[in-house]
Structure 1
Amino acid sequence: MTYSLSGFTDKVAVVTGAGRMRSIGRPIALALARAGCDVVLTGTGRPVNQYPQDEQAAGWRDIESVADEIRQLGRRALPVVSDVSDPQAVEALLAHVVEAFGRVDFLINNAGATRGGDRVPATEMSIDTWRRVMDTNLNGTFYMSRAFARQMGEQGQGGAIINISSLAAQLLAPDTSAYATTKVAINGLTTIMARELGPKKIRVNVVAPGIVETSRLDDVPRGKVWDEMVAAYIALGRAGTGDDIAHLVAFLCSEQGEWISGQTIYVDGGHLPTPRR
């Protein structure tokens, strides 16, 4: 007997932050396309000189490249440069999606602020940096969820919102005050919205990755430093991949996941609270 996920026929998914080659957003978008969704992809329109070297070498075109991959799977793709931290841009995105596809069924809030300048003690963080992280991670998740949940509710056929959080919400490590605070808040917002939207058959869940091999973590040197970190902190002995996260997202969107809502699910390879010695 074969077993596969169902409930994706004629459905439309929106995945924010979906343009990176080594990422979580791209595998999520491709997994939903393989399941049968048409997919809307958003990105910031970052300039090519800000791409990692491997993307530049591959001639990567951000969300346009991912859109091509989705079309090769036989599904429709709509790449849109949009800023989740701007509520007017979010409303314009919603209108664009409805005009193009007539509906939206799944929203994956994956967009996140660039890592770097926020990894300092709270007392040393600039106000601009704090606001940048809050505006993208937390406010962006709220603006997108608010707008797209309204559309799902008007359609009257339910839907699913998946918020990508982080193990950082559990670790609350030093030098992560802005980032971790947004993820704790996203987890709370998810629980509240799940209770509010449940009567409309809209499920809201969090997927919280641990250490995943993406370009976002390129500030951690690969090789000895990376391998020692993985060996010390991950019980299963390897870093995660974008596909590891995408599989769970697809399940939560499927008919098989239709009785799961208000949950925060950590996908972290069995992260160890203290390093293995």
Structure 2
Amino acid sequence: MAYSLTGFDGKVAVVTGAGRMRSIGRPVAVALAQAGCDVVLTGTGRNRDSYPQDERDAGWCDIDSVAQEVRALGRRALPVVADVSDPAAVDLLVAKTVDAFGRVDFVINNAGAARAGDRVPAADLAIWRSGDLAIEKWQKVMDVNLNGTFYMSRAFARQMREQGNGGAIINVSSVAAELLAPQTSAYAASKVAINGLTTIMARELGPEQIRVNAVAPGIVETSRLDDVPRGKVWDDLVGNYIALGRAGTGEDIAHLVTFLCSEQGAWISGQTIYIDGGHLPTPRQ
């Protein structure tokens, strides 16, 4: 008898930050659909002018394209434009999920603030502007990465407790929380806090059989890292820092997330699991 992951039939998963073509969120959503879940997909409703060239060439439609992939696997999909940094929007997302599918079982908090000028020394973090709104870049990263994870976990944990059937919350952290490298103050601090929140909520929700874990990817080939030049710069980064000699893929992360949601992962909670190809703290000599 072949070994296979179980525990997905009739289950509903919510995946945030699921709209990019080269990403972590999309493979996670697809993997959970392949396992047997119906999937709620969230994204920010990106302006098409911001799409990378490969998405434009493919005629990509953000979360609607991922929803089509989920449906092609025979599962139901609900794409929802939602801002996870807005607690009212998160509460509305819970309501839409329950209205459409009647339940929620797995929540994958993958949404993250874009790399937009925050990778500088902490003393030099500038002002991020959008229209008439001025927010410190530190605050923008915290609002999406940390607060968004908290709002999602809080709201959906309440729904899971009400259902009484347990569930799983998976927070996407980062190897940056371990490396604590210069010029990553906002990003790394948000991920350190996510790791702590994961452990605390796992202890709080354990009696309800709700598991809470974090997965912490290293260097993964996604469009979020398109600001790193490909060629020698990229090859040196991967070759010097990753013991296994290659960047990760969204599918690598999706396999771990799916396992943590499965019945086979049912005794794992409160953990931060680094999935980074053996990321080295200092470059090879």
Matched, 1:267 2:275: yes
SS at match of 1:114: coil
- Structure 1 stretches of 5 or more lacking a match? none
Matched, 1:31 2:39: no
Percent pairwise identity: 79
Aligned residue identity for 2:222: T
Where do 1:37-116 residues align within 5 Å? 37-116=37-116
Matched, 1:218 2:226: yes
Aligned residue identity for 1:80: V
CA distance in 2, matches of 1:224, 1:258: 42
Give CA deviations for 1:33-88 in whole Å, capped at 9, x if unaligned.
00000000000001000011110111100000000000000000000000000000
Aligned residue identity for 2:276: D
CA distance in 1, matches of 2:278, 2:120: 27
Q: Which runs of 4+ in 1 moved over 2 A?
A: none
Could you tell which deviates more after superposition, 117-126 or 236-245? 117-126
Give CA deviations for 1:104-124 in whole Å, capped at 9, x if unaligned.
000000000011211111111
Give CA deviations for 1:122-157 in whole Å, capped at 9, x if unaligned.
111135211110100000000000000000011000
Aligned residue identity for 1:168: A
Matched, 1:235 2:243: yes
Give CA deviations for 1:6-38 in whole Å, capped at 9, x if unaligned.
000000000000000000000000000000000
How many residues of Structure 1 are paired with residues of Structure 2 in the alignment? 277
SS at match of 2:118: coil
CA distance in 2, matches of 1:270, 1:176: 20
Give CA deviations for 1:240-266 in whole Å, capped at 9, x if unaligned.
000000000000000000000000000
Q: Show the counterpart of 1:171.
A: 179
Q: Show the counterpart of 1:206.
A: 214
Q: TM-score, normalised by structure 1?
A: 0.99
- Structure 2 stretches of 5 or more lacking a match? 128-135
Q: TM-score, normalised by structure 2?
A: 0.96
Aligned residue identity for 1:88: A
CA distance in 1, matches of 2:22, 2:194: 24
Aligned residue identity for 2:247: A
